[in-house]
Amino acid sequence: MSIDHAARRARIAPALGLHADEILVVGAGQPVPKPEVSEQHFPFVAHQEYYYLTGHAEAPGGIIAYDAKTREWTSFVPEVTEMERVWDGTEQLPGEFLSRFPAWLAARAGRKIAALGAPIVGVQSDDELSARIRENLKHARRPKENGEIEIMQRAAFATAEGYTAVQPFLSPGFSERRMQIELEAGFFRGGATTTGYGTIVGVGAQAAVFHGSPSPHRIAKAGDFILIDAGAEVERYVIDVTRTYIAGGSGTGFQRDLYMAVKTAQVRACAKCVSGTEWKDIHFGAAIDMMGSLVDMGVLKGNPTSLVEQEAHMLFFPHGIGHMVGLGVRDASGLEPGREKDPRPCLKSLRMDLILRPGYVVTVEPGLYLIPALINDPARREKYRDVVNWKLVEQHLGIGGVRIEDNLLVTDGAPINLTAAIPKL
C-alpha cells in the first residue's frame, strides 16, 4: 500500500489552524558536507515534517509551501543537474524548481509566515505562529494511516529477523560488536532500509547504560545480562525494540526475579494501551508494579504506591515508560494540546503526556537497573536511607539491568503488539 501524499496534505491542511492571511513553508534541510572531503556529504535525511507532507526522502533544499487563502500547496524541488544524473543516478522529482520559490514568497509579502521543518534561508518567519502550527501538525499526524502501519509491520518483520539471527550469539565469549553485526545483518536480510537508530548492546554492567554503543567487550560468564535495544527502519519508519537476555539460559535468583519484575510490569502496561487512557497513568502503573516486585524481593520496604509518591522508583527506573514511534524513533511524542509539561522531577524523562487514541503507535519499555551513578549518590542514600535495603543493592551492583520494549498499536479495541513475534524469556 503506498501513501497518497496529496490526499494527506488535503486532510492535514484544515487541522493546521492557519488563518487565511498566513502562509506555511516547510523545509527539507540542506546536505551537510563532511569537513575533510569537500565533495562528500553525510547521508541526507529530509526533515520529518517535510517528509511527512511530501514523501520525498531525497530532496535537499526542498520546500513544501501552503497558502491558506487559496488553500493551495506548492512543492519546490531541487533541479537535478547532469552531474547528479551521471554520478548519483538522481532523478528529477515532480514540482516547481526551487529557483521559483523567491517569487512565490515575494508575491505574498507582508503576510505572516509559519516555518516548519528545517530552516529556510531568507524566510522571515513568526516564531510564535510557527510553534503553534508545529504543535497542530504534530497532533494531526499522531494517528497513523493504514499505509504507515503497513510499513511499520514490514519494519517489525525485519526487526524480528535480526533478533532471530542474534540468538546463537548470546553466550559467553561473544562480543557486543558481534551481536550487533549479526542482529543488523538480520535486519537487512529481512528488508530493512537501515537501522532505526544506533544499535545498543550492553553486556553485564553495560546493560544499565541507556544509550551505550556496542564495543568489543565480550560476555564474561553464564548468567550475565545482555541488553539489546535496536530496530529496523523501512522507508523512514522505525521500530524500537528492547530484549534483555541472560547469557547461557534464563537465570536464577536475584537476576531472574529482576527480569520477571520488569516482564510482569511490561505485559500489564501493554494491555493498558487502549484508547482514552492517559499515558502518565500507564507510566505510574508500571512504576508501582515494579516497586511491588522490589518490595517482594527485599530491595525496598514499604507500600509500592507510597514509594512511587516519594519518587523512590527513580533510583531503579529513572526513565519514562515510552514514547511514540514511527516516523523517527521518537516520532510525534510531546504534549496533549493545551497542556504544559508536568513539572514533577520524576516525569522529566517521560517523553509524552498524551491521551491514547486509535492509530497511535507507542513503545512500552519499563526497566529496572542498578546504576552506580544513582546508587552511590550520597544525597539519594540519605533521602532513601530507610526504604532501601542498601546492603542487598550493593551485593548486586554491577549486574546492569533489564529493559523490555515492544511497540503497541492503539485501536478501537484491544491493542496490537507489532513486535510480539520477538520472544521474551
The residue among 27 and 326 lying less far from Mn ion, judged by its C-beta, is: 326
Alpha-carbon distance of 326 to 87, in angstroms, equals 32
The residue among 173 and 198 lying less far from ligand GLY, judged by its C-beta, is: 198
* Residue of minimal Cβ distance to ligand GLY: 229
The residue among 62 and 196 lying less far from ligand GLY, judged by its C-beta, is: 196
| CB of residue 364 to ligand GLY, shortest distance in Å | 11
Which of 62, 43, 405 minimizes the C-alpha distance to 238? 405
Give me the sign of the Cα torsion angle 269, 275, 280, 285: negative
| Among 44, 169, 197, 384, interactor with ligand GLY by CB under 6 A | 197
Burial 327-347 (b: 16+ CB within 10 A, else e): bbbbbbbbeeeeeeeeeeebb
| CB of residue 231 to ligand GLY, shortest distance in Å | 7
Per-residue contact track with ligand GLY, 349 to 388, x per CB under 6 A?
----------------x-----------------------
| CB of residue 136 to ligand GLY, shortest distance in Å | 25
How many chain residues interact with ligand GLY (CB under 6 A)? 6
The residue among 76 and 163 lying less far from ligand GLY, judged by its C-beta, is: 163
CA distances from 330 to 23, 141, 212, 253, 404 (A): 27, 13, 18, 35, 17
The residue among 246 and 321 lying less far from Mn ion, judged by its C-beta, is: 321
Q: Does 184 bind ligand GLY (CB under 6 A)?
A: no
| Among 229, 233, 289, 353, interactor with ligand GLY by CB under 6 A | 229
| CB of residue 124 to Mn ion, shortest distance in Å | 37
- Pairing mode, strands 96-97 and 72-77: parallel
Which of 345, 45, 402 minimizes the C-alpha distance to 195? 45
The residue among 60 and 328 lying less far from Mn ion, judged by its C-beta, is: 328
| CB of residue 323 to Mn ion, shortest distance in Å | 6
Angle between helices 279-296 and 253-271 (to 10 degrees): 160
Alpha-carbon distance of 418 to 232, in angstroms, equals 13
